[in-house]
Structure 1
Amino acid sequence: MEIVVVIAVLAALVFLVHANLTEKTARRVLPVLLIAFALRLVVHLTLERGAAIGYGGDNVWYELKAIDIAEQWRREGVHGGLTPGDSGSLSAVGVACQVFAFIVLICGGPAPLACTAVVALIACMLCVVMYRFALLVGADDRGAFKLLVVTAFMPGFLLHTSDTYKDGFNAFLVVASLGIGVSLVRRFDLFRLLLLGPMLWLLWYVRPYMVFMCVLPLLVGVTGLKRMLSLRTLFLATAGLTAMLFVSGAVLNSAPAESMLAQLDQGQSAGARRSNSGSGSGVVFEDGGDPWSALGGKLLYTLFSPFPWTDGSTSLQLGKIDSLIWYVVLVYAVSGARLVWRRRPSTLLILLLFIVPGTIAYATTMANIGLIFRQRMPIVMAVSLLAAVAWTRRPRDTGPSARPGRPETTGGRPSPVPRT
């Protein structure tokens, strides 16, 4: 039954690619994604479950949690939605665990290959989202396709979407949500706005703190900053939204905000950072116990580690390949950011409002290269969107004169959010 599920997931990939891209683009994109899909299954069988690199741990925990949930569903019937209200081993379920539980229920027992196929499907669809998002930001078909290929085979992303990790779910929901924010700047659409609610709700049950990292850029998009093109106006609008979110007592005293602050306090606590720095890839900073001290060094590690000279495990050495690709992407992103700023500053602002605060927040919890290597994945993808603009031979006009609702290239539709 597990093989049947894998085949069904593969068929779903073919359908979704054709449903979300033009026929011409789908013919070029599909072979790339089929290779990316198959490669993830191979990595799963040889490296992840073959113990060739000795990496992971939480992926197995998610699978065991899914088996527990499936057993409960067999006894009581499928129920409960995504709200964790059970006791014992089911007290902290989430989107990934329940998706895996559904696969386990279908297969009648543990099904790591089938679960990995679902994760691989999400990874491939994220590549489609990145392609369409890049078109929206201002890249042409060539730049967007190059970004799709880089995303599909980025070693870190490949590794963490080749088993039952939840990083693929997280990256997909974050990037798609930001894509909606940028599309709302270009043209307000009630359906896309309403779609944000379920997506952020799902994201809450994947990585709750990521919801708060997305809130400010999304608010900028929803408020329609496409008419606010001056630097002064953009700055004042952002400052006003920030004050409304983080100074308002009503917001800070709300249950979601308290949950966010609790998560931040936990990640910044001396105990958590000491525990994270205890492994082979741990890093200790001379900050006197203050998570906001030595911020420069922490930002350096957050953005650029593992460095070429860093010693560590086999997986850490493989991570250096990812870092080298990331360095190249970052150089192109700087060039792309200049182009986007000239043509569509509000789009750049939305991306920066996610990239900058998110990087700083991660830096305050920095204590382990392997952990931060995974956490920064959505930030890497947001930055790489700007690189796609630099890879464009002739940047597309995404300004007010562009005709909304029609693709300026034959590469795809303007909305970055796939229809499923």
Structure 2
Amino acid sequence: MTASTSTPPITSQTIPVATPATSPGGLIDVPAGLAGVRAADTALGDVRGSEGFYHYRQYSAIDLARTRTLEDVWFLQFEGHLPDSAELVDFRAQIDELRDLPPQLADMLPALATAGSSSAMLPRLRTALSMLASIEGSRPVYGARPEDRRRDAMRVAAVTPTLLAGIYRLRRGESPLAPRPGLSAAAQWLYLLTGQEPESRDPRDVSAIDQYLVCTVDHGFNASTFTARVVTSTGADVASAVCSAIGAFSGPLHGGAPDRALAALDDIGSPDRAEEWVRARVTSGERIMGFGHAVYRTDDPRAALLRGIAQERGGRLAEFATEVEKTVIRVLAELKPGRSLNTNVEFWAVVVMEQAGLARDLFTPTFTVSRVIGWTANVLEQAQDSKIIRPSARYTGLPAPQPVPELDQVSAA
């Protein structure tokens, strides 16, 4: 496959880079949140927010979502090229071999899944992956052979859907299902959750979930990906890096937002209430989930892809979301002039996943099933560099050194 002729050329001029300024003490001042700061070189892909474009290696991510499967993109990110037919068959067989849980972890999973009252699945996934690393003796990436790093990365990415689906089913009082060899990644995920055979499911479900998974594999140096690379730079094992990424990803300002976007639609209730609802939220200083993005100043291309999928399938929710989207964008443009607050991936992702029959507490876990591939690909790339990521901070506390007070003075204070 060749890159789409519509894909913008990649040039150094399209990559925004902050111009640092040296401050007293030799520190370099950079924008808050490291916005626009180039922290590393990568061959995995990039996001060009002003153009509304992002890519995996040399291919448009949206073109890949429309024409290739998750396994194709997984292979691309790990191996550097799209697979031919024979390579894809072999790669899928490798994934199948790595999906099963070790017996010791399978025995522990019921207690892990049902502990506590919270239904959050990502904290349990972190614990499960830590157990897996301990049981299987996951090795630090520092000093490890490339083939050993790759196998550990493949293992973590392949077993993540099995763990998440098992946790979900156990919390519902159902038994976990063993992965079925030969299923595509999207069909496997839906099967592990529901036990429904792919042949008895609407094929649009599998197609929509596969496209969603492909378009969310990676997205530049987002917070969770950067976190994974920081941990990898210390030489830690793959599972540790991915667990740290999951922690960052679980935040509502990052991967934890999709179900909140659907909650907003629930709260609005009907299209005629959308304007009043948005005005009230903006006036009170609340964030409108599903709108605005830290990088894009145009339409989020992932949202455009998923909007098309949802609208083609149709139904009440898709029609409602279309009307709400128009109203919210219009009102935000009026209330926040000069700011680009378009629909982001979370808004239409919830519609697509709802259409495919996924419960809303599965939205973020489904996002995780794809993003773990991006995290592990970044781990493998970062592991090739032995330089630890260790920035500095500007101290803003009381001048130091201060005299240490006597103990009685501390007690009196």
Same fold (TM over 0.5): no
TM bin (shorter chain)? under 0.3
Higher-Rg member (1/2): 2
TM-score by length of 2: 0.25
TM-score by length of 1: 0.25
Bigger relative contact order, structure 1 or 2, given CA contacts below 8 A and separation 6+? 1
Task: Point out the structure with the larger helix share.
Answer: 1
